[in-house]
A and B are shown apart, each in its own frame.
Chain A
Amino acid sequence: MDRDPAMLRTLRGLAGLALILWLVLPLIPLAIWSFARGWRFPDILPQSWTLQAWDYALSDTSGVLDSLTLTIWIALCATGLSILIGVPAGRALGLSNFRSKGLVEMMILAPIIVPGIAVALGLHGVFIGLGLTNTTTGVILVHLIPTLPYMTLVMAGIFANYDTTFEDQARSLGASPWQTFRHVTLPAILPGIIVGGLFAFLVSWSQYILTLLIGGGRVITLPLLLFNFAASGRNDIAGAIGMIYILPGVLVLILTARHLTGRNAAIGGLGRL
């Protein structure tokens, strides 16, 4: 490849700098607010710094810790169920060819594209009849709408590159179906399950309108609490909760950065976090 002229290189560096600035910019005031005391217009930085917002957020009275536990529980349950149901379905989609495969794929893709509110309004009526509204169980179930298709598609991608002959060999050597699964299949697909599961967790973690509608304002997950503090102008506390709220994503990123390229199916559902 030919060398770039110096001006083009400078231009590229400047554009890169602008891009980097723009990507971190919205997170900066959020972080500053969480340590600010009375940060009024027109001060560019707070007059004084404090840990009050963090103290409050981490105290028992604010409800943030309860909310955090609840959000983690809901995301864990939705992820666990998605793995249990999505792994076999992903295997069928990734390995088998059948006549209605295109239709099945479309059925599984649809919940990823159709916005939650279009489905949740109708589902709310059904859940009222089943006594599932305003309950954590109802919220876990409704979170399956985005997490299960996501997990299924990730696993379909994993199984598309999976060789079943190792299973046949294990069986012909006398392994039971369970032993085959435990010692042959699972080790091969485990990395896929972990990456898919981590991102399914994040998909559930970021749900807002599904939780608000089905939880009826009684199941208060972290995003609901965050929205309320931000909308009522408690910027310092919203800043602290916001920092806590992005933490799992940062951790997942550190664990999986090399899987996070556009070539991996894991990326597909992330436009909706």
Chain B
Amino acid sequence: MSESLKTVLRLAPALAVIGFLFFGGLVMGLMRSVNYMPVIGLTQPNLDAYRAVLSDPDFLRSFGLTLHISLTSTILSAVLAVASALLLRRSFVGRRLATFLFQLNLTVPHLVGAIGILYLFSQSGSFARLAHAAALIDRPADFPALVYDPYAIGIILQYVWKEVPFIGVIVLANMQAIGQDYEAVARSLGATRWQAVRHVLFPQIWPGVLSASVIVFAFTFGAYEIPALLGASYPASLPVLAYRSYTDVDLASRPEAMAMAMVIALMSAAMILVYTRAARRKGGR
């Protein structure tokens, strides 16, 4: 058996499973979103669902909210992750503990983090109780709404909690691989501590930060259970809205749910492009 035939045979099962489940699911969603279902006699594809969705103020508000959630969470996580990695690469007393907690946090499912954030930041949560003890508030309602709120603060807090360690371990490994020699050279040539980090270290870790951030952005744009638990019922985030329309008793709203699923897919396709370009740049270094 030739080597290339073996390669094909080794890849075939994986590609068949991914082709059927993943791309099959995408293509079916796309077909239903344009009302094209030859099996039940719908042979004239149209863009009605997209027209309906894109002219629906509820959808636009959800889209805006979801974009806000993803962008804010990703940028905050990336910045804090780089800061944490800078902190963790130097020795300080709790370094080993912090590194262990980074790893532990990676294995905790998002849903558990979301429930923890709920118990911490809700109006009768731990922080509200501390505020009461400090005589800052009288009743739970006096505490600012940080979950179920229109700005999605609770959702963003949860994502930041989970994604700082994710981006952080990747950046930390990058930093360890690069070592401190380049910075030492810059310092010996008269650069300040900050200049060495800013002009020597950052350009080297940037591709890693970018590709990790892309994964975070795509995830936060399409995750369901976190906004379902921590989000306001209106406006709901896009995945929650899509799920609601899909499970609506009115079957006519299903193509619209599919159209929303396609919007989420399109957004992540853009992210894949950014990711592969970042990966290529990383490889070319």
A-side interface residues toward B, CB under 8 Å? 1-2, 4, 9, 12-13, 15-17, 19-20, 22-30, 33, 41-44, 84-86, 88-89, 91-93, 96, 98, 104, 106-126, 141-142, 144-145, 148-149, 152, 202, 205-206, 208-209, 212-213, 223, 226-227, 230-231, 235, 238, 242, 245-246, 249-250, 252-253, 257, 260-263, 267-268, 270-273
The answer to whether B170 and A126 have CB atoms under 8 Å apart is no
In contact, A126 and B25 (Cβ under 8 angstroms): yes
> Can you list 26 A-B contacts with CB-CB less than 8 angstroms, sorted by A residue number?
A16-B98, A23-B165, A30-B119, A41-B128, A41-B132, A88-B14, A109-B276, A114-B264, A118-B264, A119-B265, A121-B242, A122-B25, A123-B21, A125-B28, A144-B21, A205-B109, A246-B107, A246-B112, A253-B104, A261-B173, A267-B106, A267-B170, A270-B106, A270-B166, A271-B212, A271-B216
Contacts A148-B18, A252-B107, A263-B173; is A44 near B130 (CB within 8 Å)?
Answer: yes
B72 CB within 8 Å of chain A:
no
Closest 9 CB pairs of A and B: A115-B222, A26-B116, A122-B29, A249-B107, A262-B173, A123-B25, A89-B14, A122-B28, A29-B119
Q: A117: which of B6, B119, B215, B222 is its contact (CB, 8 Å)?
A: B222
B contact residues, total (Cβ < 8 Å): 112
With A30-B119, A42-B132, A245-B109 as given contacts, are A262 and B172 in contact (CB-CB < 8 Å)?
yes
Q: Which residues of A contact B23 (CB under 8 A)?
A: 107
Looking across the interface, which residue of chain B has its beta carbon closest to that of A100? B11
- Known contacts being A96-B3, A119-B29, is A25 close to B271, with CB within 8 Å? no
Query: Of B46-54, B56-64, B86-94, which stretch is located at the interface?
Result: B86-94
- Chain B residues near A86 (CB, 8 Å)? 14
- Bound-complex Cα distance A117 to B268 (A): 12
Given contacts A96-B7, A115-B218, A123-B28, contact A29 B109 (CB under 8 A): no
Asked whether any CB of chain A lies closer than 8 Å to the CB of B262, the reply is yes
List residues of chain A with CB within 8 A of the CB of B95.
Answer: 16
Q: Name B residues whose Cβ lies closer than 8 Å to a Cβ of A.
A: 3-4, 6-7, 9-11, 13-15, 17-19, 21-32, 83-84, 87-88, 90, 92-95, 97-98, 100-113, 115-120, 124-126, 128-130, 132-133, 140, 158, 161, 163, 165-167, 169-174, 176-177, 180, 184, 187, 208, 212, 214-216, 218-219, 221-225, 228-229, 239, 242-243, 246, 257-258, 261-262, 264-265, 268-269, 271-272, 275-276
Select which of A16, A111, A118, A249 is within 8 A of B18 by beta carbon: A111
List the A side residues contacting B218 at CB < 8 Å.
Answer: 113-115
- In the complex, what residues of A have CB within 8 A of residue B21's CB? 119, 123, 141-142, 144-145
Measured between alpha carbons, how far is A212 from B30 in the docked complex, in Å? 21
Distance in Å from the Cβ of A73 to the closest Cβ of chain B? Answer: 18
Which residues of chain A come closer than 8 Å to B90, judged between CB atoms? Answer: 4, 12
Q: What separation, in Å, do the CA atoms of A52 and B155 have in the docked complex?
A: 30
Write the chain B residue with the least CB distance to A258: B103
Do A107 and B18 form a contact, CB below 8 Å, given A96-B7, A121-B258? yes
Q: Is B103 a contact partner of A115 (Cβ separation < 8 A)?
A: no
Interface residues of B, dominant DSSP = helix
Which of chain B's residues have a CB closer than 8 A to the CB of A42? 128-129, 132-133
Specify which chain B residues have a CB less than 8 angstroms from the CB of A109 in the assembled complex: 272, 275-276
Q: Give the chain A neighbours of B172 by CB distance below 8 A.
A: 261-262
Contact (Cβ within 8 A) A123 B24 = yes
Closest to A23 in B: B101
Among B22, B29, B102, B130, which residue has the most Cβ atoms of chain A within 10 A?
Answer: B22
Residues of B within 8 A of A118 (CB): 26, 29, 222, 261-262, 264-265, 268
Task: Provide the residues of chain B in CB contact with A202, threshold 8 Å.
Answer: 107
Nearest CB in chain B: distance from A89 CB, A: 4
User: Taking each of B93, B163, B225, which has the highest tally of chain A beta carbons within 10 Å of its own beta carbon?
Assistant: B225
15 additional A-B residue pairs with CB within 8 Å, beyond A44-B129, A115-B268, A126-B25: A23-B104, A26-B112, A43-B129, A104-B15, A107-B15, A115-B264, A118-B262, A125-B28, A202-B107, A209-B239, A238-B115, A249-B104, A267-B106, A268-B215, A270-B166
